[in-house]
Chains A and B, each alone.
Chain A
Amino acid sequence: MPDSKPLVFVVDDDQDVRTSLSRALDQRGMQVETFPAAEAFLAAYDGERPACVVLDYGMPGMNGLELLEVLNQRQLPLGVVFITGHGGVPESVQAMKGGAVDFLEKPFRQPVLIERIQAALDLADSRYGSFVTHRDLKARFDRLTAREEEIVSHVVANPAEVSSKEIGNALGISPRTVDHHRARILEKLQVKSLVELIDLVTRLRFADGSRRL
């Protein structure tokens, strides 16, 4: 972790709430960033640091639950603590299902919040590793050309047909070309063999839920 200060985001449409929370967390040695709307937060955070989000449930525009969905999709390294003035059982259930650490009804006492934020930060830390790995793997894969991706897909889909000749026949190219591509793939993905390659792809898929590959 490049910075020792834990990072906390406060997303609430009420200025006074933002101010008071910002002050309290800052006091306790946390780095605090505040946003008045979910959209602004999404635009600002890129997942480079694990963090906690203190999220107001009822906001104009995208509300807390909707934001939570987006965050989950992106697998960002975040722990979420909901705070709400509307406090309803259905909402809290949905929030918890969506992976929130807790659902606090306003008003609430600070020690309870701090405790939840700590839990959320721990969760975010645990998510951060996989997030980074996933991000790196994705970055490696992103360096493949279209033809190389095609070959990887074929190999992963048909682990029994891994000779250059077989791959060449299946894709309508010469084995020599396949050999050339294979060497580039192993280099770009930083693996030593096709077995390692298959393992890597499987991991990535698992983590990603997988749109590609």
Chain B
Amino acid sequence: MRNSLGALLAIGLAGLQFVAVLAVVFSSYVTSERALLNHARDLLSDVGTNTIEHSRGFLGPARGAAELSARLAEDRVIASDVPELLEQLLFQQLLLAPQFAGVYHGGEDGEFVYVMRSEGPAPFRTKIIRVEDGVRTTELIWRDDDFNVVERRMDPLDTYDPRSRPWYIRARAELTTIWTDPYIFFSSQQPGITLASPVMDGPDAVRGIVGVDIEISEISEFLARLRIGSTGRALIIHENGDVIAHPNRSLLKTQDADGTLRFVDIAQFEDPIAREAFSDLVANGVIPVEHEMLSQFSFRNETYVSVVMPPISDNLPWTIAAYALESDFTEVIKQNRRNNFWIAALVAAITGLCGLALANYIYKPVRAFAVRSALISQGELDPSEPLPKTYQELENANRTLMQQIAARRETEIEYGRTFGLSSHGMAQIEAATGRFLRVNDKICEITGYSEDELTRMALADLVHPDEPLFLLSDGHGEDAPRAFNHEMRCLRRDGATVWTLVNAILIFNQEGKPIHYVLTMDDITPAKQTEDQIAELSKDLSNLSRDNTMGQVAAGLAHELNQPLTAIAQNADSALYSVDQIAGDHDGLRQTLEEIAEQSMRAGEIIKALRSFIRRDEGIRTDFDLGELVEQTKRLVIAEARAAGATIEADLADLPPVHANRIQIAQVLVNLLRNAVEAVADCESCDRRVLVRAERQGDQVLVAVEDTGPGVDPGISLFTEFETTKPTGMGLGLSICQSIVHANGGRLWHEPAEPQGARFCFTVAVGPA
């Protein structure tokens, strides 16, 4: 099946557009999902990075301050062994860094200066442990922001020795700045870390250690301020698994059985999402990671994304981790995507409809063109009608088409005229059914049906019931005859029988499929009647010929017998006469002679009776057209003439009707024609022509049959019975002819023809005018 232009246009403009929109939507669906996840991860990564930077920013100054203090002490800018000066230095350091909880210096001799932030009675408190001559004293001094003493008292119960503290021991052992693990400060009960830096006295000698306490609650506050989606959180996990910073600070601390405060391990951490996300990573040694690690996990049917950052630095082996609900990032976009989908669907539908409309708009002239072409092909529209608005290509096609149609129509008209005006009956007949498709006037005339009636009939309906079953086709195209030529009888509408000569040819299309028959029908009834007449004549002639031959035999016998009978009768009578002349009684002799004479008379009577018995009536004379009879008799001998290679010509002047026995005259003509044909048949040198001439001479018509044969031998007695030159003849032909012509009141004779041949002439009386 061929594609319809309309369908193609609809598919192309509407369908493809719809598919294209869907493809865009789908691809944006997929890519937006990925972009969204990347976005979420980037966001988490940023959170981690920010936290790291924040932590560094938070802790960096502490290191600077600690190391500065250590260097100052080392360089003896401040006499470290003078507690008051040291206190002043440490106080200034504390003022500079608000994240510092306290700054202190412990000496090798056990002395200790410690400046810290205080809840009251003043913002700062200083603790000084002095060791003088083995005696140690501990003094506590509370100062305001301007370093003025608010309160001062001694603490005799104090047993603190800096040299026993871990930070002192480690810094002294490592001889460099060290960070302690985070822990819960004893004094403030806040989480924090301690940074310690040795004060050197020569290359390997340590004079003391400067330490800085830094509360890291500030980092948790920072984390609490961070917004990571709706539920996302960042936290800091120490390398030992402790959670050291979390937006909810209260979760960080736990109390041991002995009352000591400590950090909560991630495995026990009260943030279940964080626990789910990271505890396994810690337990499996994945944390600390070397590179930022993003991952995804499920918790309570929700999908989360997480990020794990590498440790902040070697000194601070902290891992910053963050998690967030994936939907926090994707929900809006998903919603957006849903909206997009519906918008896309709507757009696809609208553009699809527009495409259909456009396709229709484009296709409409084509459809109009197609409809117009169909109408033209059915003859319901004149091709000269102006073409509706259409395309250049179609106009070109139209022009070509119109030329074709014009040419075809011309052919059609010529054919139709030939068909219509044909002197033959013509019809187109459907090959499969034998139905008439088209008929001309002549066939209507022959059959007596109107055109309308015929086109509702099949050829079989016309065929005379006495005709052998005649069908063009039994419906199977294979068996249909390709051509046929029949003489058959048809029934006219009025019931009369017509003899027709039917000729049909099966017409095939280019694929070799039969389309229809073209049939011609001629009324041959007159010719048939002539044939019948000739056949009738022939039959009559053969009867007549038989009768005539018998009659002629009888006549011939009569003549031949009558001669001796005459002689006998005369001789007997002569004898009787002689006896009468002689005197005496001769009755016996007289009687005998009388009987002889009488018996010969009786024989004559018998012959006469025989003749009259055989000779039927001399025929009924009628008036008839001699010319027509000559034509008919010509046709009776035409076959013999052809076989003999002879031609028969007739030269018949305008003849009046003649009065004679038609059959008998026909017999004469046939006999003379046969004789003439036979005469030329055996003649090699003749041009084998037989000519029949007839012309009026007074009240007679003279008929002459002339041949170009060798002529008649003068020694032959032509008209005598039983005399013949033919090996099979009886010698009666010409004598019978003569008898017939005489019987009809005419004469028959022979004369030689010029330059050679024989001419037999006879006369027939002209009928009464």
Contact = CB atoms under 8 A, between A and B. Distances in A.
Contacts of A86: 555, 558-559
A195 interface: no
Interface in B535-575: 555, 558-571, 573-574
B737 to A, nearest CB: 15
B559 A85 contact: yes
A110 B569 contact: yes
A109 B578 contact: no
Interface in A12-70: 14, 16-17, 19-21, 23-24, 27-28, 58, 60
B597 interface: yes
Given A20-B571, A60-B717, A87-B608, A109 B601 contact: yes
B368 to A, nearest CB: 95
B147 interface: no
B566 A108 contact: yes
B570 A60 contact: no
Nearest to B561: A85
A108 B600 CA distance: 9
Contact of B601 (A28, A88, A107): A107
A105 B559 CA distance: 10
For B573, B578, B600, B603, the residue with the greatest tally of chain A CB atoms inside 10 Å of its CB is B573
A20 B570 contact: yes
Contacts of B574: 20, 23-24, 27, 110
List the 9 closest pairs (A to B, CB-CB), nearest first: A110-B573, A85-B562, A20-B570, A106-B562, A85-B559, A16-B567, A107-B565, A14-B563, A20-B567
20 contacts: A14-B563, A17-B567, A20-B571, A24-B570, A24-B577, A28-B577, A58-B559, A85-B563, A86-B558, A87-B608, A88-B743, A90-B745, A91-B742, A106-B563, A106-B565, A107-B568, A107-B601, A107-B604, A111-B573, A113-B570
A107 B573 contact: no
Contacts of B142: none
Interface in B469-521: none
A107 B558 contact: no
A18 to B, nearest CB: 9
B719 interface: yes
A105 B604 contact: yes
Nearest to A112: B573
A83 interface: yes
**Which range holds the interface residue count of chain A?**
20 to 34
A105 B608 contact: yes
Contacts of B671: none
Interface in A73-121: 83, 85-88, 90-91, 105-111, 113
Contact of A90 (B558, B569, B573, B743): B743
A125 B564 CA distance: 32
Contacts of A105: 562, 604, 608
B720 interface: yes
Contact of B563 (A16, A28, A109): A16
Contact of B578 (A27, A58, A90, A111): A27
A21 B555 CA distance: 23
Given A23-B571, A24-B574, 17 more contacts: A14-B563, A14-B566, A23-B574, A58-B559, A60-B717, A60-B719, A86-B559, A90-B742, A90-B743, A106-B565, A107-B570, A107-B600, A108-B569, A109-B597, A110-B570, A110-B574, A113-B570
Nearest to A111: B573
Interface string B580-611: 00000000000000000100110110001000
Contacts of B568: 20, 107
A93 to B, nearest CB: 11
A135 B604 CA distance: 43
Contact of A83 (B558, B566, B577, B578): B566
Nearest to A13: B563
Given A28-B577, A60-B719, A20 B566 contact: yes
A85 B558 contact: yes
B720 to A, nearest CB: 6
Interface residues of B, number: 32
Contacts, number: 86
B569 A109 contact: yes
Interface string B164-203: 0000000000000000000000000000000000000000
A19 B570 CA distance: 10
B242 to A, nearest CB: 172
Interface in B419-466: none
B748 to A, nearest CB: 12
For B559, B560, B719, B745, the residue with the greatest tally of chain A CB atoms inside 10 Å of its CB is B559
A20 B575 CA distance: 11
A58 to B, nearest CB: 6
Contacts of B597: 109-110
Contacts of B562: 85, 105-107
A16 B600 CA distance: 14
B746 to A, nearest CB: 11
Contacts of A21: 570
A105 B720 CA distance: 20
For A90, A110, A111, the residue with the greatest tally of chain B CB atoms inside 10 Å of its CB is A110
B570 to A, nearest CB: 4
B620 to A, nearest CB: 15
Contacts of A28: 577
Nearest to A61: B717
A21 B562 CA distance: 14
Given A20-B574, A23-B574, A28-B577, A107 B566 contact: yes
B6 to A, nearest CB: 100
B743 A107 contact: no
Contacts of A107: 562, 565-566, 568-570, 600-601, 603-604
A57 B569 CA distance: 18
A87 B559 CA distance: 9
A106 B578 contact: no
A90 B577 CA distance: 34
Interface in B4-39: none
A17 B569 contact: no
A27 B578 CA distance: 8
Contacts of B565: 106-107
B577 A110 contact: yes
Nearest to A87: B608
A32 to B, nearest CB: 12
B579 to A, nearest CB: 11
A91 B571 CA distance: 27
A87 B562 CA distance: 11
A85 B597 CA distance: 17
Contacts of A88: 743
Contacts of B567: 14, 16-17, 19-20
Contacts of A19: 567
Nearest to B744: A90
Nearest to B555: A86
A187 to B, nearest CB: 45
A52 to B, nearest CB: 16
Nearest to A26: B574
Contacts of A110: 569-570, 573-574, 576-577, 597
Contacts of A16: 563-564, 566-567
For B561, B569, B603, B745, the residue with the greatest tally of chain A CB atoms inside 10 Å of its CB is B569
Contacts of A87: 608
A87 to B, nearest CB: 7
A109 B601 CA distance: 8
A28 B719 CA distance: 36
